Amino acid sequence: MIIGNFTYNQARDIYTGELSTLTVTARPLVFQPNEAKGDKAKRQPHYRIVSPAQGGDVEIGAAWKKHSDEGREYLSVTLADPALPQPINCAMVASSESIEAFILVWSRETRKAKTA
């Protein structure tokens, strides 16, 4: 399910767009490079996800660069909000519309029943 549409600015290395579901709308959302990310900070995310607000940016998540089994690049995204029972995990992938267009996709986790 597509829950967001973004545009990538290669010169600035940022993604800008919006998130929209039945209960949440956040715009603009910006994926900013994480200045703390470095060779020694392997667990740090590549991007911080922020929403500009009057008093300053509000951080709502983080994203890590990953590669699919087929070798395609994507961002593994975690969004968090105190009102949510748990963080939302999704992926930012390239759209077929243009090289600057990306979509944020989410799917409900389906757990297989344990066999005895």
**Of 12-26, 28-42, 55-69, 93-107, minimum mean pLDDT range:** 28-42
Q: What is the pLDDT of residue 33?
A: 94
Alpha-carbon dihedral sign for residues 63, 79, 87, 95: negative
> For residue range 74-104, what is the model confidence (pLDDT) as tens digits?
999 999 988 778 899 999 999 988 889 999 9
Q: What is the pLDDT of residue 43?
A: 81
What one-character-per-residue DSSP string does 62-105 give?
A: EEEEEE-TTS-EEEEEEE--TTSSS-EEEEEEE-SS-TTEEEEE
Q: How many CB atoms lie within 10 A of CB 8?
A: 19
More confident residue, 39 or 107: 107
